Amino acid sequence: MNYRLSISKFTVLLLLIFCLNKGYCHSRVFHLDDYGAVKGGKVDNSKALLKAWDDACKWKGGSRLDISSGPYLVNAVLLVGPCKGPIEFHNTGSLIAPLGLRGQYWIEFRYIDGLTVSGSGSFDGRGPPKQGSPYLPTLLRFSFVTNSNAQDLKLINSQTTHFNLFACNNTKISQITISSPGDSPNTDGIKIGESNGIIISNSTIASGDDCVALLTGSKNISVIGVTCGPGHGISIGSLGGSPNEHVEQIFVSNIKLLNTTNGLRIKTKATNMVGMVTNVRYENVFMDGVQNPIIFDQNYCPPKTCKQGSSRVQISDVKFRNIYGTSKTNVAVNLQCSGRNPCNKIELKDIEIKYQGLKGKTISSCSHASGEVYGIQVPKPCI
């Protein structure tokens, strides 16, 4: 008897027994077209999408919901788990939101372990938003999603945030393209809160607000290989609106910031709410024509009607390494920290940000900030 063949047969037998016991024996594709969906962008296909999702979610062998053409008009839908096995939402076609959609979200995935959202198709939120309109919806939202992936997606023209992750764990986002006009208000690219173990990589984000926004509860987040512009850069915060808000263990690397309003920003409100930003590392970041390349703003006040005060959010252990390029303003490094809780353990290593204008040079401005500097320093450091 062939020993290797016997081992192979035995392995197959074990896998078959496991499959039968667990019920994960084969996967199945569920096509949206099979549920009576009507393409063309005029008929609401929400019921067809929800039914296809329900059947796919109940399938034990792992499933894929396939959207291969379009455009399909879809109203706000909540796609809920838990599912019986791993599930993929595969869009190579086109989904479009109704004009004037209102609510908290357009497409939301909730309570799912082992979700993949993929495909080269588009999710069109049909912006721009209307000024003063309440309840503008997030385009795509993951809530309580774990061990999952979002890859090769096109998110366009959201009325507000394009992609929001809340209470998610161990989720990878890669090869995402986000596109909305630079003057569209509050159209953040990717916004994360109360989530742990998120990796964003190899993506392009053009928006009217933060390209990536890390809100309270963001922990162990990596942003790698992202090109941002237009937009407001990579932001942490704002924090200080509620007690004990915190962001920690953030890694930002190999980033391009092109003509953005801000570059690398940490923003907190000057309130009595205690909070923390710590263990943050930025490295290998290129900036071209950024207005505020490196900025801490601990008196952040968008309405401009806040009382001047001293933030109780502590910024500590933040490292900037190999940050280079050009600034549209003279102040390239602007660390305005709290007098009550000064920034500490700030590291500036190999910073070279030159003024883009014809005359003058970049400068630094610091208040209540301390730390260490190494290597090239343009502008001259103030910590």
Q: Domain ranges for the chain, please list them.
A: 24-152+160-172, 210-383
Token pair of 135 as six digits: 């309840």
Q: How many angstroms separate the CA atoms of 163 and 178, rounded?
A: 9
Token pair of 339 as six digits: 């007098």
Residue 232 confidence (pLDDT):
97
Instruction: Note whether 233 and 259 are within 8 A (CB).
Output: no
pLDDT, tens digit (0-9, with 9 covering 90-100), for 158-184 = 999 999 999 999 999 999 999 999 988
Tell me if domain 24-152+160-172 and domain 210-383 are identical in fold.
Answer: yes
Residue 115 confidence (pLDDT):
98
Single pTM value for the model: 0.92
Based on the residue annotation, tell me whether 209 is a catalytic residue of this protein.
yes
Q: How many angstroms separate the CA atoms of 281 and 277, rounded?
A: 11
Give the Cβ contact number of residue 146 at 10 Å: 18
What's the mean per-residue pLDDT of the chain?
92
Domain 24-152+160-172 top-level CATH class:
mainly beta
Q: From the candidates 66, 124, 209, 297, which is the catalytic residue?
A: 209
**Between the CA of residue 330 and those of 66, 109, 235, 287, 320, what are the distances in Å?**
51, 44, 21, 14, 19
pLDDT band at 32 (very low <50, low <70, confident <90, very high): very high
- Tokens 């007690």 locate to 243
CATH dotted code for 210-383: 2.160.20.10
Of 15-19, 82-86, 111-115, 258-262, which range is least confident? 15-19
pLDDT, tens digit (0-9, with 9 covering 90-100), for 145-165 = 999 999 999 999 999 999 999
Instruction: Note whether 89 and 66 are within 8 A (CB).
Output: no
Residue 130 confidence (pLDDT):
63
For residue 54, report the phi and psi dihedrals to the nearest 5 degrees.
-60, -45
**Between the CA of residue 32 and those of 107, 254, 326, what are the distances in Å?**
15, 38, 48
Residue 230 confidence (pLDDT):
96
Mean pLDDT for 27-56 is: 97
> Is the pLDDT at 318 greater than 50, yes or no?
yes
Based on the residue annotation, tell me whether 232 is a catalytic residue of this protein.
yes
> Is the pLDDT at 128 greater than 90, yes or no?
no
pLDDT, tens digit (0-9, with 9 covering 90-100), for 227-284 = 999 999 999 999 999 999 999 999 999 999 999 999 999 999 999 999 999 999 999 9
Q: How many angstroms separate the CA atoms of 112 and 352, rounded?
A: 44
Q: From the candidates 90, 162, 232, 368, which is the catalytic residue?
A: 232
